[in-house]
Chains A and B, each alone.
Chain A
Amino acid sequence: AQSVTQPDIHITVSEGASLELRCNYSYGATPYLFWYVQSPGQGLQLLLKYFSGDTLVQGIKGFEAEFKRSQSSFNLRKPSVHWSDAAEYFCAVGAGVTGGGNKLTFGTGTQLKVEL
């Protein structure tokens, strides 16, 4: 069974500082990996995805993530955080058609606070 660990429950950064949110996954085969963001009272917005190919993927809002198979990690980064980035961030893993189709397993989320 697949699982996702987001070790940081809360992170506070200053506006303009760089950001890295950690995500570790457990899955036997090549995973499909996603980062979503959720603002209070809202649904989930897809930031970026990794299916295959280049291990550094670019997403929306200036976010990027790097897939490292040797470390089972898919960390999310942003070089300069804006106050509007304050939200909850979820890492998710999908197993593919033979492993469960569109079933996503989510981490517990990281709440990002941005100090002005």
Chain B
Amino acid sequence: KAGVTQTPRYLIKTRGQQVTLSCSPISGHRSVSWYQQTPGQGLQFLFEYFSETQRNKGNFPGRFSGRQFSNSRSEMNVSTLELGDSALYLCASSFERVTEQFFGPGTRLTVL
């Protein structure tokens, strides 16, 4: 069974631009969560989607948004990029809520 896939793996953007990251969960998994990883703040929860509905949201500004499609694939969007948004963005999927989560390789976003 294929693991969690994330595209693209690397992105370079400039301040003020917006970006969309994609995540395909493990087949059959219905929950997708997103995390941001930075050297300064560590791993922080962004949001969780289950059955196309956002179920939980972390403490991030409204510039960070996401959605989930009927096939459980998820996208997250960051608008008006800031230098501080440079990070590794990790997607995780699980079969149900409150079950073990499996992480993808991440998307490395660099904002110049």
Known: A32-B98, A90-B43. A102 touches B48 (CB 8 A): yes
B31 at the interface (CB under 8 A from A): yes
Interface membership of chain A positions 90-113, coded 1 if the CB is closer than 8 angstroms to chain B and 0 otherwise: 101010110011111111110000
Contact between B103 and A101, CB atoms less than 8 A apart: no
The A24-38 residues at the B interface (CB cut-off 8 A) are 32, 34, 36
CB distance from B93 to the nearest CB of A (A): 9
Count of B interface residues, CB-CB < 8 Å: 26
Q: How large is the interface on A (under 10, 10 to 19, 20 to 34, 35 or more residues)?
A: 20 to 34
B106 touches A43 (CB 8 A): yes
The stretch of A10-18, A44-52, A62-70 that contacts the partner chain: A44-52
User: Do the beta carbons of B90 and A96 come within 8 Å of each other?
Assistant: no
By a beta-carbon cutoff of 8 Å, the part of chain B in contact with chain A is 4, 31, 33, 35, 42-45, 48, 50, 55-56, 58, 90, 92, 94, 97-106
Task: Please report A residues at the B interface, Cβ cutoff 8 Å.
Answer: 32, 34, 36, 42-46, 49, 90, 92, 94, 96-97, 100-109
Residue contacts A-B, CB under 8 angstroms, 25 given: A42-B105, A43-B90, A43-B103, A44-B90, A44-B103, A49-B100, A90-B43, A94-B98, A96-B98, A97-B97, A97-B98, A101-B31, A101-B50, A101-B55, A101-B97, A102-B31, A102-B33, A102-B92, A102-B98, A102-B101, A103-B33, A103-B45, A103-B58, A104-B92, A104-B101
